[in-house]
Structure 1
Amino acid sequence: MDSTPVENIDWGLAASVGKRIARPGPRVTRYTADRARAELLDAAVRAEGPVREVTGLADGLAVPTAQILDRSGWIDAATRSMPAMLGPAPTESGDDGVDDGAAGADARRTGTGFTGKVAGVQAGGLLAFLSSAILGQYDPFSVDPETGQDGVLMLVSPNIIAVERALRADPSDFRLWVCLHEVTHRVQFSANPWLAEYMRSNVGALTGDEDDSVAEIVSRITEGLRSGKPREKGVIGLMQLLQSPEQFEAFERVLALGTLLEGHADHVMDAVGPAHVPSVESIRAAFDRRRNGPKNPLQRLIRALIGMDAKMAQYVRGKAFVDHVVDTVGMERFNTVWTSPETMPLMSEIGTPDAWIERVL
């Protein structure tokens, strides 16, 4: 089946399209915007100490300055980060062994061919949708312009303001609460530098252009259905049918890593929150109601297509895994999970944390 390799996406076009169609953020005065920016910068720094204390990670490392972005700024950052995460640029000779010259090489390298532009428009539409949903993000694949070090902590101010208004949360408390989660991601990656390459390599294996024909994919689905082998439900089960065994193994590793990272961050939020965020209980309750609340049909379709509901489940399953292991063996022994790819939990162990304890500890 023909597909556009991820490195051939026209990311410049994706950024342009995304920023053009992204919804505007909430109406705010200049005073409100400036105050939110100042509070988020301060909260990102204040969150570091409690996160490090609870996790036992990143002790002694410098505390970087967060980037406070609007939706367009996040789209620009995402289109710079995605090519870095998805791997190196293609070679200058075509896959068919025919050298089509510098123009053709440039088109592949920058994604400016026809397929690259089509993919760029599609990516721009996805980024526009996500730009209103992302509260914050730690990007291990971008370089901090101030320090020159890998990794950037980003907070999307208009989205944080929109959600705190919807939840009727205390703004200062909510901003610190969000920062606790995102700073935990920064600490995870900065304390364990191998995680970024582990993620990159598995995403690369997952998104690599297998160039399967339609017949091969149909045969794979048919064989999977006839085999009677147990499969996961929903999107994961579909991926199990559509992907090659090697791709699905990479998919499971990416999913397990994401589940661990999100669950660990949620665990830290709840462990740190009561001592530092006075209204944390009401924020958590309201946020969970919003997270699990009804969506309109279009939102449900988009969320299903891009796997956002699966991501929401990651928070719940991942937090349950971390809660159980930490309660059973303590945070210090839990931190063995960050040692190497071999100590990462398997997807089968996320729901049975005692199996991870038995295998690894």
Structure 2
Amino acid sequence: MRLKKALYPYLQMMFLCFCIGSVEAVQFQSQWIVDSIGLKELLKHQAKVVYLVKKPNQMPRDVIPGTDPRRVIPWQPRNEDDSFAIRVFSKSLSYPMGRKYPKAMPNRKQWTASMRKLGIDQGDLIIAVGNKEFATRFSRTVVEYGGRAVVYNDATADNLLIPYSMVDAVPGNIEPGNFSARNSNRQRLSLKNSVGKRIDARTRFWDVRNEVYPTGKKTKSYVYAQGTLSNASNALKYIDLLVDDGAWYRPADEISAVLTSHFGDPLEQGDLRHVIVCDSEGLSNIVMWAARSLGYDNVFVLAGGLHEFTMDSNNHRYVSLMGKVGSPLK
């Protein structure tokens, strides 16, 4: 018993180091999103809390029980139409055709400067709370530029209606937070291999929102190429993957049945491609990662005309360069 008491503090520290170390990697593992128990351990070590809100002047509410409010850094958009990306990224970058659009990612120097204005240094561990979509994007960007960040993900929170956490499948369940789902596909998007707006019999578009917007309608900060939404089926909705009250995921076997009814057998896909069309990266990625976790390696995300990225397909910024289609995806 004495030996256990003596070793317990060291075991706690080893566990904490493991948690912190795991979020430093570019490929996020299961410790990237923490629960309330892990959160308390992190708070003991003076991690900085960043509260992300979706609307201007929205005040932090029930951030983390027991957290000193002086340690909470508020973060909010300038106006209701701003996305998190537009809020912190460069205001404009020239399109090839002369139009302007928000720059997708700041460079490391720009990001570090933005963080220092918030009182965050490169070596600080950040706990992102509040709006799950913004918290997810914020934490990912922190880690992509060499920082350390986790997302507070309390499954029992009353306001957790849409889980923006990534998913992985284990027998009989889909576990929020595990980011190892079928990420062997290292194909990179470019002008030559974008799915774009070309429609063919082997590319199927899915609008996973509850409500469908008319073709060409501007939704939030995203504008879709003409023809994409009109060719997108609304038969599959993101809420089909959630329990009735929208608070959490259904079991893996239930989600598998839903996806199979729409996509078909994962072993019989051939060269078929499913492209998720939605103005929310969070909702799109819920569907994509659930599908990839369950064997659908051919499910992709078409995020929006204003954001152009060239990153690995297992990154959350897997985005098609619309209207500039070259060779098809392999």
Same fold (TM over 0.5): no
Query: Which category of TM-score, normalised to the shorter sequence, fits these structures?
Result: under 0.3
Q: TM-score, normalised by structure 1?
A: 0.26
Larger Rg computed on CA atoms: 1
Structure with the larger strand share: 2
Which TM-score applies when normalising by structure 2? 0.27
Q: Identify which of structures 1 and 2 has the higher relative contact order when contacts are C-alpha pairs closer than 8 Å and 6+ apart.
A: 1
The structure where helix makes up a greater share of residues is: 1
